[in-house]
């Protein structure tokens, strides 16, 4: 089947945005009503970011969520998406149909729409990328650089689930409950944007490991940060310190990591409780630079590599 047939059969039905012109054109007119507009792009590559035999629906959801995660962390609402699809000849058309259906559902879940893209064959392995725009509040995106000395460090959801799921898949333990978290990370809900706009001074998503990302947030803000490992909401009870450090250094959690003044603490906890999502205070920012991890009040020796990098 040719590229044009693919597009009209599987992706046109998703392109309901007014600027997309039903994908008849090579460009889309972006929606720009309201506050400032942001854009992000994230790619997924077979055997790098997902396993060749991962269900294609989870690949679609992971693609959307890895981008939505960036947008949410800026206090913005997902808006419009452009898809690049490099499809290997040995993947059947039925899989493409399932991919498109899952992509459309997942975008809709976040209030976003497909408005354009490019499809091509791939000589070896599936690769995908999504460009996603987001509508910010009037004050624009919440940057990494806004944390203040004395602010607290917060994280949504759980840490390390994706790492545990990845290991289970690699070792063939297919009944492990964390596999889903690796294949299709559980993000904070859309309502996190309201909380961030009200309370966060700096924000980013945890995509390269909690500790390394916390250090980046501090660095961008010209501060030091102390993370209390005792407070970190690990996905599993882990007795071993080395293992806790490993989980806190692995990517793909896609949670929101943000700084907020101590005075906002009550508001943050109440907001999250009312909307049934998890948010935990795990550290504090101070003058200076660098990252310190503590456990039960004692400073912990950190491994040299903290951030996770694919490939």
Footprint of its own copies on this chain (CB under 8 A)?
Answer: 2-4, 19, 21, 24-30, 32, 36-43, 45-49, 70-71, 73-74, 76, 82-84, 86, 89, 115-118, 120-125, 127, 129, 131, 133-134, 136, 140-141, 143-145, 204-205, 207, 220, 307, 309-311
Give 131 or 198: the residue with its C-beta nearer to its own copies: 131
Closest distance of CB 66 from its own copies, Å: 9
DSSP state of 243: H
Give 16 or 47: the residue with its C-beta nearer to its own copies: 47
Give 209 or 283: the residue with its C-beta nearer to its own copies: 209
Give 46 or 152: the residue with its C-beta nearer to its own copies: 46
Contact by Cβ (8 Å): 23, 15: yes
Dihedral Cα 277, 283, 289, 292, nearest 10 deg: -120
Give 80 or 152: the residue with its C-beta nearer to its own copies: 80
Q: Where are the beta strands (DSSP E) in 152-193?
A: 152-156
Cα(304)–Cα(307) distance, rounded to whole angstroms? 9
Cα distance between the two ends of the chain: 32
Closest distance of CB 193 from its own copies, Å: 13
Closest distance of CB 11 from its own copies, Å: 13
Closest distance of CB 283 from its own copies, Å: 20
Phi, psi torsion values for 160, nearest 5 degrees = 100, -5
Give 81 or 229: the residue with its C-beta nearer to its own copies: 81
DSSP state of 146: G
Cα(309)–Cα(252) distance, rounded to whole angstroms? 10
Contact by Cβ (8 Å): 234, 289: no
Contact by Cβ (8 Å): 129, 35: no
Buried b (16+ CB within 10 A) or exposed e, 114-124: bbbbebeebee
Closest distance of CB 47 from its own copies, Å: 5
Closest distance of CB 204 from its own copies, Å: 7
Give 21 or 243: the residue with its C-beta nearer to its own copies: 21
Closest distance of CB 253 from its own copies, Å: 14
Give 203 or 244: the residue with its C-beta nearer to its own copies: 203
Cα(188)–Cα(279) distance, rounded to whole angstroms? 9
Cα(249)–Cα(213) distance, rounded to whole angstroms? 9
Closest distance of CB 87 from its own copies, Å: 8
Give 11 or 229: the residue with its C-beta nearer to its own copies: 11
Closest distance of CB 213 from its own copies, Å: 10
CA distances 191 to 146, 154, 274, Å, are 21, 16, 11
Count Cα neighbours of 137 within 13 Å in the Cβ-side half-sphere: 17
Contact by Cβ (8 Å): 231, 282: yes
């Amino acid at each position: 089947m040719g590229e044009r047939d693919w597009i009209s059969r599987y992706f046109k039905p998703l392109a309901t945005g007014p600027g997309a012109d039903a994908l008849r054109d090579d460009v889309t007119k972006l929606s720009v009503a309201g506050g400032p507009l942001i854009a992000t792009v994230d790619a997924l590559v077979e055997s790098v970011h997902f396993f060749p035999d991962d269900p294609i629906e989870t690949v679609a959801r992971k693609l959307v969520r890895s981008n939505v995660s960036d947008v949410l962390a800026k206090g913005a609402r997902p808006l419009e998406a452009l898809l690049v699809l490099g499809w290997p000849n040995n993947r059947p058309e039925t899989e493409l149909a399932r991919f498109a259906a899952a992509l459309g559902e997942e975008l809709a879940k976040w209030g976003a729409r497909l408005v354009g893209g490019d499809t091509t064959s791939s000589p070896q392995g599936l690769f995908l990328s999504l460009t996603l725009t987001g509508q910010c509040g009037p004050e624009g995106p919440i940057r990494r650089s806004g944390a203040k000395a004395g602010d607290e460090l917060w994280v949504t959801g759980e840490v390390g689930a994706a790492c545990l799921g990845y290991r289970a898949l690699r070792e063939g333990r297919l009944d492990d409950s964390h596999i889903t978290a690796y294949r299709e990370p559980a993000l904070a809900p859309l309502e996190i944007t309201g909380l961030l706009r009200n309370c966060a001074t700096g924000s980013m998503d945890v995509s390269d490991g909690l500790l390394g990302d916390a250090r980046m947030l501090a660095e961008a803000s010209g501060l030091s940060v102390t993370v209390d490992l005792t407070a970190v909401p690990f996905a599993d009870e882990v007795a071993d310190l080395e293992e806790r450090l490993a989980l806190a250094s692995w990517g793909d959690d896609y949670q929101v990591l943000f700084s907020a003044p101590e005075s906002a603490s009550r508001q943050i906890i109440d907001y999250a409780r009312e909307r049934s999502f998890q948010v935990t205070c795990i550290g504090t920012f101070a003058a200076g630079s660098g990252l310190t991890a503590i456990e039960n009040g004692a400073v912990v020796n950190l491994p040299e590599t903290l951030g996770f990098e694919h490939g």
